[in-house]
Homo-oligomer: A and B are copies of this chain.
Amino acid sequence: MAHDIRIVTETELRGAVRLDLTAVNVIERAFAALASGRVVMPPILSMELAEANGEVDVKTAYIPGFDGFAIKVSPGFFDNPKLGLPSLNGLMILFSAKTGLVQAVFLDNGYLTDIRTAAAGAVAARHLAPEVVETAGVIGTGVQARLQMQAAHLVRPFKRVLVHGRDAEKAAACAGDLARSLGIPAEVAPDAAGMVAQSQLVVTTTPAREPVLMADWLHPGLHVTAMGSDQIGKTEIEPEALVRADAYVCDRVSQCEVSGELEAALAAGLWTRGTPAELGEVIAGKRSGRQAPEDITIADLTGTGAQDTAIASHVMQTIGDMGTLIRA
């Protein structure tokens, strides 16, 4: 029995779906649902294509109360820049959670992942950062460096932003973009330690395999979100920092154990505090996050299928009659 399927391109999606509080609230709802125990979120399907220096991940989740569920396919082919192509691509498919019928195909080339990833940073900041953030800092100078600061600014309207990156030119470009988009002073911080010292909120957005933020840099009243590590072997935060923090919070413990900051801390035998809290549990009030302004908090975001289902559902409600209808 044929039905209409909506095909929406990246250009159309960029015109219709923005990183705003509505998107943040949808992602927050997905995290809260994760804490309910009723979300079904299978392990990520991951395939390596070594001959092409490529990999592909598939994520999904069913969230009760959402009409649909998304399946997201994220290829990463790291020789693409040599061909003038971006490394990351992919699409999301939205299915009816009642019938399994395909509702929409979002040919987003990773745009919706960018949005839902940044929105998770805002959710972490909303529930873990100190109430007052004067200065925010970001380590990394890519798309997520920009989006994470924009997202955090939605929930903690800081007055100044600092950018640290290994490449001074890219850091300057990122700072310039942030100054324009946020309308606040943005500066390059050549020294990461000094930047963290001046900030109440820091987001790390790198693919680092060695820590870029050290335990000794932690100071009272600091919140750190580490969102770069999403694979085995990646790490951004010195493992010792996780136990020095008053609260270390995972997006999903089962993922952080294998691909987040927890991986290295467990391997080093440093983590001895039992099962860490999850962001959804903090939102739902089941576990404690920040308890005092001087607390040090760390959020570890590896990216969940629940976010994909949430953003795809949000898109479907947002786009109206956008896209091309295909009857199939």
Contacts and interface: CB of A to CB of B under 8 A. Distances in A.
Interface of A: 1-2, 5, 7, 9-11, 40-52, 54, 56, 58, 60-62, 64, 69, 71, 73, 75-77, 80, 83-86, 89-91, 93, 95, 97-102, 105, 107, 109, 324, 326-328
5 contacts: A1-B86, A9-B328, A44-B45, A75-B101, A77-B100
Query: How many identical subunits does the complex contain?
Result: 2
B60 A77 contact: no
A40 B52 CA distance: 13
Contacts of A1: 84-86
Contacts of A97: 49, 52, 54
A16 to B, nearest CB: 14
B91 A75 contact: no
Contact of A328 (B10, B62, B71): B10
A64 B51 contact: yes
Contacts of A85: 1, 99, 101
Nearest to A95: B75
Given A58-B60, A84-B1, A109-B328, A47 B52 contact: no
Contacts of A49: 40, 62, 69, 97, 100
Contacts of A95: 56, 73, 75
Contacts of A54: 97, 99-100
Contacts of A83: 99
A50 B38 CA distance: 10
Contact of A107 (B46, B60, B328): B328
B73 A47 contact: no
A2 to B, nearest CB: 7
